């Protein structure tokens, strides 16, 4: 196996030190590099290619629902930001401000966007006049800045890449439908493209987005039992519209306020991919977003005909897959190790004996299984193997989530699970934020993740205070 290769020797075992293992993979798989500004990362070509494939798939899904892409400025005047107090208060600790332009002090501070609700509202006020102008279904791909105290590549950056959807609707019902529709888009994307299962539901009042009436979330679980907020969708009601005086003439010829949604995901998804699927030899990338789906490795390529045959296979395969032929002078073992580190789903080995037998060897990254395949069947077999890899990756992640999901019916059980086991804890809750705070404090960070859409009735009382329970909640520690 690749474990004895020099390239992967320096990877810390994930069972020994999960945080160090994660950082080792990020660096050695050449995903990012650190910059001179804390929390601002350089996306290296391979890391950015993963993001491009994620972006392409998600963008298609958005547009299929009628969403259009736009781009808003990166600076927000302080006076504009102040129009929505709850929103401002929620982001104030993380805001970065520009106070000097050129060599002159600005008459008004400019906030580097932490999110763009206020910018969209300023624009919507200008372009929405009647019900005929609705709905407005906009999304933008951009970067945002949130001045994090503690940073970690992909998971918590001072600047990160994301998409943020902002829509306006004629009625509350339409806006609520859009909020849940986009949440479903995220859930499907995680399952169908990233091979990642998740718990989906509504955030508690304490955990909802600043300025929202309701926040919904998708919560995948990492290999080590820690949750990650994978994407959120918010229903704002008409609060922003009132603060920005956005009105439209309704079908009844009266003025009304439109109802708003916002939804977003970010490059945190790459962190999720690493922590859900990776192993001690590096990345294991879902085939649909892997920059290289097939690595062709010629064996004994100095021998006559080997490199020619490898090039022939590459030309055949790249009509259907993203392919790289490695004809460098590195030894085959080094190449095996490198593409395992980078998480390439499939490698194809071709050598003199293979050519003689009119076959090649397909090797799966996730299981290391070797499959001897007739050359005439290669395209069909690779397509089959890539789908199998996706399905097996999803099922392994689902099994991990099931194994690390526990039930607590008493305070003592919750305390023990929160301190010792990790993972998700299913427990009943009275609806009081004081109980949320207490459970977080006594367990060292176990927070409410979401109220699932399909709640189980575990008991009649709150796991914390013993009062009548209102909801079943998924709890857990988070990145």
Q: Which of 56, 87, 267 has the alpha carbon at shortest distance from 159? A: 267
Residue 87 is predicted with a pLDDT of: 67
Q: What is the CATH number of domain 2-277?
A: 3.30.930.10
Q: What is the CATH number of domain 294-389?
A: 3.40.50.800
Averaged pLDDT, groups of 10, the chain, 479 residues long:
49 94 96 93 97 98 98 95 75 89 96 94 97 98 92 93 98 98 98 98 95 96 96 97 97 98 97 98 98 97 94 97 97 96 98 97 98 98 98 98 97 94 94 97 96 96 97 97
The three-state DSSP-derived secondary structure of the chain is CHHHCHHHHCCCCCCCCHHHHHHHHHHHCCCEEECCCCCCEEECHHHHHHHHHHHHHHHHHHHHCCCEECCCCCEEEHHHHCCCHHHHHHHHHHCEEEEEECCEEEEEEEEECCCCHHHHHHHHHHHCCEHHHCCEEEEEEEEEECCCCCCECCCECCEEEEEEEEEEECCHHHHHHHHHHHHHHHHHHHHHCCCCCCEEEECCCCCCCCCCCEEEEEECECCCCCECCCEEEEEEECHHHHHCCCCEECCCCCEECCEEEEEEEECHHHHHHHHHHCECCECCCCCCCCCCCEEEEECCCCCCCHHHHHHHHHHHHCCCCCEEECCCCCCHHHHHHHHHHCCCCEEEEECHHHHHCCEEEEEECCCCCEEEEEHHHHHHHHHHHHHHHHHHHHHHHHHHHHHCEEECCCHHHHHHHHHHHCCEEEEEECCCHHHHHHHHHHHCCCEEEEEECCCCCCCCECCCCCCECCEEEEEECEC
Residue 3 is predicted with a pLDDT of: 43
Residue 199 is predicted with a pLDDT of: 98
Superfamily of domain 405-476: C-terminal domain of ProRS (3.30.110.30)
> Can you give the residue ranges of every domain in the chain?
2-277, 294-389, 405-476
């Amino acid at each position: 196996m690749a474990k004895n290769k020099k390239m992967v020797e320096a990877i810390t075992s994930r069972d020994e030190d999960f945080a160090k293992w994660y950082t080792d993979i990020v660096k050695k798989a050449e995903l990012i590099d650190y910059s001179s500004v804390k929390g601002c990362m350089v996306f290296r070509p391979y890391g950015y290619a993963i993001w491009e494939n994620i972006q392409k798939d998600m963008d298609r899904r958005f547009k299929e629902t009628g969403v259009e892409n736009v781009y808003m400025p990166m600076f927000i005047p302080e006076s504009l930001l102040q129009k929505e107090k709850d929103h401002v208060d929620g982001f104030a600790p993380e805001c970065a401000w520009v106070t000097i332009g050129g060599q002159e002090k600005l008459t008004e501070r400019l906030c580097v966007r932490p999110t763009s609700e206020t910018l969209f509202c300023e624009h919507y006020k200008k372009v929405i006049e009647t019900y005929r102008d609705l709905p407005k279904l906009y999304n933008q791909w951009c970067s945002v800045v949130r001045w994090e105290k503690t940073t970690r590549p992909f998971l918590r950056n001072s600047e990160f890449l994301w998409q943020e959807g902002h829509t306006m609707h004629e009625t509350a019902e339409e806006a609520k439908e859009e909020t849940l529709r986009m949440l479903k888009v995220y859930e499907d994307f995680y399952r169908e493209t990233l091979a990642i299962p998740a718990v989906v539901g509504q955030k508690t009042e304490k955990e909802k987005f600043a300025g929202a009436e309701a926040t919904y979330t998708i919560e995948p679980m990492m290999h080590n039992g820690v949750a990650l907020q994978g994407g959120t969708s918010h229903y704002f009601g008409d609060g922003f519209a009132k603060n920005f005086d956005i009105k439209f003439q309704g079908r009844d010829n009266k003025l009304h306020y439109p109802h708003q949604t916002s939804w977003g995901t970010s490059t945190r998804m790459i962190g999720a991919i690493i922590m859900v699927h990776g192993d001690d030899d590096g990345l294991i990338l879902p085939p649909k977003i892997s920059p290289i789906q097939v690595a062709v490795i010629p064996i004994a390529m100095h021998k006559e005909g080997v490199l020619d045959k490898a090039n022939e296979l590459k030309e055949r395969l790249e009509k259907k897959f993203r392919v790289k032929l490695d004809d460098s002078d590195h030894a085959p073992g080094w190449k095996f190790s490198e593409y395992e580190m980078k998480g390439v789903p499939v490698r194809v080995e071709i050598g003199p004996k293979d050519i003689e037998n009119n076959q090649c060897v397909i090797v799966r990254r996730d299981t290391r299984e070797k499959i001897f395949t007739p050359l005439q069947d290669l395209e069909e077999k690779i397509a089959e193997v890539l789908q199998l890899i996706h399905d097996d990756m999803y099922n392994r992640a689902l099994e991990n989530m099931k194994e690390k999901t526990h039930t607590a019916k008493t305070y003592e059980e919750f305390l023990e699970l929160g301190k010792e086991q990790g993972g998700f804890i299913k427990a009943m809750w009275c609806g009081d934020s004081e109980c949320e705070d207490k459970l977080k404090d006594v367990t060292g960070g176990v927070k409410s993740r979401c109220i699932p859409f399909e709640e189980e009735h575990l008991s009649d009382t709150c796991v914390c205070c013993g009062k009548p329970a209102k909801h079943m909640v998924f709890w857990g520690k988070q990145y």
